[in-house]
Amino acid sequence: MTLLIASLTLMGALVASQPQQAVAPMGRVSGRVIEDGTNTPVAGARVFVGLDAELATPVDPSPETVTDRDGRYHLDALPAGRYYIAAEKAGFAPPMEPSTVQRFEVSAGQALDGLTVVMRRGGVFTGRVLDSIGQPLANAGVTALLKRLTSIDWPAGPTWSGAPLLMPSGQSQTNDLGEFRIFGLSAGEYVLVANPRSGFGGAAPSSSVETMMTSTYFSGTADVSAARPVAVQAGETVSDLTIRLVTVRAFQVSGVVVDERGAPVEGAMVMLMGRRGTNSLLALSMGPEGMSPSDAGGRFTFGGVPAGSYTLRASAGGGFFATSDDFIIDGSGTPREGPARRTPTPEPGTIEVTIENANVSDLKLVMPRSY
């Protein structure tokens, strides 16, 4: 113990004798956030900066602040470099991508004052969701899927050749009158979809139903390719949009979860996730068709499942499906598959299922015990 204390004392003395390295002075930026077209200050907006390319020293956590009643902000402790700056607040269109927002450069110790950030009021969709017999449906989830930004919101540039995507850009839940309101949308074209279940996941539907209401696109189709897009401009409210859910045949999906030795796995969380073509963003926004734990014999059953292609996954927890697919918004304002898109490798305990016109049974999910 005496030797250890002596060693620590000597180490401390050596560290103290080393010359202190000079710390580069930090820069700062300040200014105001105003509303586009009116120059009205925006109070309570979150202002944040991000690195522009690799010209600045990484900042962790990223500096951010909130504007005061006069729309003023101050950001300190910025390493020298080039940044982009943006702001967000409920009711305003969000910054979609760094290339569309303002940039600035700060040198060591520089105070950059008077940098104005302009925010644009977002568009709004309002309407109602009705059930299959025309009655208002409460607690339905409604999502606005961006199909294309308007040209004034997106600078001209190259058009990527990847497949078009529908990008989730706003969500709402219907009230007791079946009414929904989605706000803060960038100007553009959207596809609206209503789901009889709100939120992500939930208990498995009843296995006894033969028909069910399914996810329905405006203005009344279960086929996304037949959906009617709706355009909205900055600050515009598009009202009286009605989505009446359609009814389709319902099927059962059942099977068993086992480990590598073939023994049943009790309490595994089984998730049934729709595969909506190649559009993983759309599948993610719609959420799983159902989640259910396996019983003592490893068995699981999902009822009320419409025809289509699905992914079944069993895991020890209730983790949601992740996606690593890249996407971009090209020069036409269209969300598209990114240039490095790859087909993901199926995770352990995952299988693909297709339902056509009959129940699917006797499925086997092999889940490693260590997974």
pLDDT at 309: 87
pLDDT at 102: 87
Domain chopping of the chain, boundaries: 27-119, 123-249, 251-366
pLDDT at 7: 40
| Residue located via tokens 């020890």 | 316
Is there a common fold for 27-119 and 123-249? yes
Average pLDDT in the 333-349 region? 68
To the question of pTM greater than 0.75 for the whole model, the response is yes
Rounded-to-integer distance, Cα 103 and Cα 29, Å: 12
Q: Which residues pair with residue 221 across a beta bridge?
A: 217
Say which residue, 370 or 221, is predicted with more confidence. 221
pLDDT at 101: 81
Query: Which DSSP category does 255 fall into?
Result: E
Q: What is the pLDDT of residues 122-156, one digit of tens each?
A: 999 999 999 999 999 999 999 999 999 986 666 66
Q: What is the pLDDT of residues 241-278, one digit of tens each?
A: 999 999 999 999 999 999 989 999 999 999 888 765 44
- Domain 123-249 sits in CATH at 2.60.40.1120
DSSP letters of 289-354? SEEEE--TTSEEEEEEE-SEEEEEEEESS-PPPP----EEE-TTS-EEE-TT--PPPPPTTEEEEE
Query: Which DSSP category does 229 fall into?
Result: -
Q: What's the CATH fold of domain 27-119? A: Immunoglobulin-like (2.60.40)
Q: What is the pLDDT of residues 316-335, one digit of tens each?
A: 765 544 444 567 888 788 88
List all residues 6 or more positions away from 58 whose beta carbon is below 8 Å from its beta carbon.
51
pLDDT at 204: 45
Q: Does domain 251-366 have CATH number 2.60.40.10?
A: yes
